[in-house]
Structure 1
Amino acid sequence: MTAITRLALAAALTIGAALPATAAAPNGVWELNTKDTRFALQLCGDGTQLCGQLVWLSDADYNEQYKPYLNKPMATALRPDGANRWKGKMQLFGHSFQGTITAHSDEHMTMSGCAFLVVCKTYEMYLVAP
């Protein structure tokens, strides 16, 4: 194998290792790692945007205040922002923020966002129903 061929092969392997695994479309019901909140997410708009709504809250006492947000949109037309990643304005429990949802696998995503550019939070989300 020539030096150029070895170099090209090494570069291809390095780039391939750096790319995220391809995840399936995020359609389904996703539960936060806190196990008290679930969102239904689906591709929408032109088929590349992401939309979602709050569909379930646990019976925990603190969730009583969030019941008015059940079945209300939490994400409308988040735009693609790289492979398996959507970014845009979200609504969560009456608060607006700029956020990102990133699919890491068919069953795992993260939702990150900042309100007022200083209050930031990241949640792990797991698929509970396709």
Structure 2
Amino acid sequence: MKSVLRIVTLIGLFVSASMPVFASPAGVWELETRDTRFRLELCGDGTQLCGELVWLSDADYNEQYKPYLNAPMAYQIRQVSPSRWKGDMRLFGHKLAGTITQVNENQMTLTGCAFLVACKTYQMFRYTK
């Protein structure tokens, strides 16, 4: 039993050591459509992720989303592995079960599902002025 536990522990250490570690997810992230920006930051115990909608383009269809501007979209989403967070979010008024995965220092993937059947994936890129 002890040898099995040691093997599992060694595998866990190897896997976690081989996982890429990226720059902090803190910052402003823009959806691939370039019409929406979110500010993300580490919160809670320093491993959780919080965020809010901070900018909308002036496209006509964004008028309906203005009530969500500067409102939280993620609050203390728990980290499930390096560069990956999972939890409940509110995106444009819809409650989603979602996952945010940091692909590299400047790219994230946000996948959200409403009612476990309606799922959507967004690419987000770090916004720099």
Map of 1:74 onto structure 2: 73
The Cα shift of 1:104 comes to: 1.0
Map of 2:56 onto structure 1: 57
Runs of 5+ unmatched residues, structure 2: 1-13
Identity among equivalent positions (%) equals: 62
Map of 1:5 onto structure 2: none
SS of 2:127 mapped into structure 1: strand
Q: Aligned partner of 1:87: which letter?
A: K
State whether residues 20 and 104 of structure 1, in contact with CA within 8 Å, keep that contact through their aligned partners in structure 2.
Answer: no
Q: Aligned partner of 2:62: which letter?
A: N
State whether residues 111 and 125 of structure 1, in contact with CA within 8 Å, keep that contact through their aligned partners in structure 2.
Answer: yes
The Cα shift of 1:22 comes to: 1.6
Q: Aligned partner of 2:77: which letter?
A: L
Shift >2 Å, 4+ stretches: none
The Cα shift of 1:57 comes to: 0.4
1:116 aligns with 2:119: no
Q: Aligned partner of 1:129: which letter?
A: T
SS of 1:129 mapped into structure 2: coil
Aligned counterparts, 1:25-40, within 5 A: 25-40=24-39
Q: TM-score, normalised by structure 1?
A: 0.84
Q: CA RMSD in A?
A: 1.7
Map of 1:23 onto structure 2: 22
The Cα shift of 1:92 comes to: 0.7
Deviations 1:65-87 (A, max 9, x none): 00000000000000011110000
The Cα shift of 1:20 comes to: 4.3
Deviations 1:11-31 (A, max 9, x none): xxxx77xx5422111000000
Q: Aligned partner of 2:83: which letter?
A: N
Deviations 1:33-68 (A, max 9, x none): 011100000000000000000000001000000000
Deviations 1:73-114 (A, max 9, x none): 000000011110000000011100100000011100000010
| Inter-partner Cα distance in structure 1 for 2:75 and 2:128 | 21
| Inter-partner Cα distance in structure 2 for 1:24 and 1:32 | 19
